Amino acid sequence: MSATLAERPPVRHPADTDREEIARRLVAAAARRSFDPDTDIEWPDRVVDDHYYIPPERVSLYGTSLWDMLDETKRIALSRLEVASWAQAGIWFELILAQLLVRYAYDEDYTSQHTRWALTEIADECRHSAMFARMVEVLGGTELRPQTATITLGRLMKTMAHPAEGFAGILIAEELLDTFQREMMVDEALQPLTRAVARLHVIEEARHVKFAREELERRVKRLSPLQRQRVRMIIAAAAAVIAGALVHPGCYVAVGLDPGAARRAARASEHRQATLRWAAAKLVANFDELGLIGTGAARAIWRRAGLVA
């Protein structure tokens, strides 16, 4: 006779390797400190453009002749629209991330702490996407959804990326926004809503970044020289697309600027390039240490995107 459920031997979980222990700690941290954006953020029905939404020096046109042409009201409005554009880009990438993590967990041991953490992170990202969408509704900017070419490239990434490329892509998107948001959340001169959203996102994303870094480091060690070169090129392209998606050209149109001229001004701005390098500095240092940028064509792509000097 077959054993009853109560008599069956317990499931044998994987040994508590470093990988499992890190996942176990992340799951425990999520249980201790996670948020519900609907209740943990005070949501206004609307905002008034009386304070900047990001520090003015982080607005894409700061320091350019076009910035000098804008009055203070339009400068603040541009900062609001750029936050809404970031949020839409954030939703786009978190949807990619969720699919990458589902694909990743599909091949893992379903009973492991590692898989449990991946599922926890997917739940986090779903909440974050809903939070960003609600912020966009309040700020205005529902039309600032990433452009068709960006959506198409993201579709390829989420469907075809190998784990090393996927985790590297996660770090590019998360760490760029994280640098901006760490500054925003402590700046009392900014709008309370953007500070609150930045704080919640930074706290929860710290766990996601740790997981991605640890897993990327493991995956990179297994790459052959040819595979490493492939990963370098793919993540360089991903970095360029993600950096380019942060500010939708519709932001410029809304404040009365020609979008083509504004994008050219931002790309040519030494201050804007320095801001992007500042945002990417920790990420670039980590990737350089892992040999994921190199000295050839991949680094040239990072440089053209404004992310390395």
Judged by average pLDDT, the poorest of 59-63, 157-161, 168-172, 249-253 is 157-161
Give the pLDDT confidence score for residue 158 in this predicted structure: 85
Residue 78 domain-assigned?
A: yes
Q: What angle do CA 11, 17, 18 make, to 5 degrees?
A: 140
| Domain assignment of residue 6, yes or no | no
Which of residues 115 and 157 earns the better pLDDT score?
A: 115
Confidence at residue 120, expressed as pLDDT on a 0 to 100 scale? 96
How do residues 232-259 score in pLDDT, each as one tens digit?
Answer: 999 999 999 999 999 999 999 999 999 9
* pLDDT class of 156 with cuts at 50, 70, 90: confident
Position 265 pLDDT exceeds 60: yes
* 157-169 average pLDDT score: 88
| Per-residue model confidence (pLDDT) at position 10 | 38
How large a percentage of the chain has pLDDT more than 70? Answer: 94
Q: How far apart are CA 24 and CA 19, in angstroms?
A: 9
Question: Is 10 inside any structural domain?
Answer: no
CA dihedral sign, ordered 234, 211, 84, 284: negative
Average pLDDT over residues 274-296: 95
- First and final CA of the chain: distance in angstroms? 71
Domain assignment of residue 3, yes or no: no
Range of the domain at 168: 49-304
Least confident among 5-14, 60-69, 210-219, 230-239: 5-14
For 251, phi then psi, to 5°, come to -60, -40
Of 15-24, 76-85, 174-183, give the lowest mean pLDDT range: 15-24
DSSP string, 213-269: HHHHHHHHHT--HHHHHHHHHHHHHHHHHHHHHSS-THHHHHTT--HHHHHHHHHH-
Q: Determine the 3-state secondary structure of 15 from DSSP.
A: coil
pLDDT at 3: 42
Number of domains into which the chain is organized: 1
Question: Given pLDDT bands bounded at 50, 70 and 90, which one contains residue 2?
Answer: very low
Q: What is the pLDDT of residues 253-263, one digit of tens each?
A: 999 999 999 99
**Helix, strand, coil abundance in the chain, percent, nearest 5:** 70, 0, 30
Q: Is residue 223 part of a domain?
A: yes
Q: Is residue 167 part of a domain?
A: yes
Q: Is residue 102 part of a domain?
A: yes
Predicted structure pTM score = 0.90
pLDDT of residue 157: 86
pLDDT > 70? residue 107: yes
Q: What is the pLDDT of residue 109?
A: 92
Q: Does pLDDT of 12 surpass 80?
A: no
Whether 305 shows a pLDDT value over 50: the answer reads yes
pLDDT for residue 6 is more than 70: no
Phi, psi of 71 (to 5 degrees): -80, 175
Task: Name the more confident of 104 and 35.
Answer: 35
Distance CA 59, CA 276 (A): 11
Domain CATH number, residue 84 = 1.10.620.20
Greater pLDDT, 43 or 295: 43
- The whole-number average pLDDT for the span 276-292 is 96
Note the pLDDT of residue 199: 97
* 3-state secondary structure (DSSP) of residue 291: coil
Are 169 and 100 spatial neighbours (Cβ–Cβ below 8 Å)?
A: yes
Domain membership of residue 82 (yes or no) is yes
| Residue 73 CB-density burial (10 A; 0-12 exposed, 13-18 middle, 19+ buried) | exposed
Contact at 8 Å (CB) between 138 and 47? yes
C-beta separation of 62 from 156 below 8 A: no
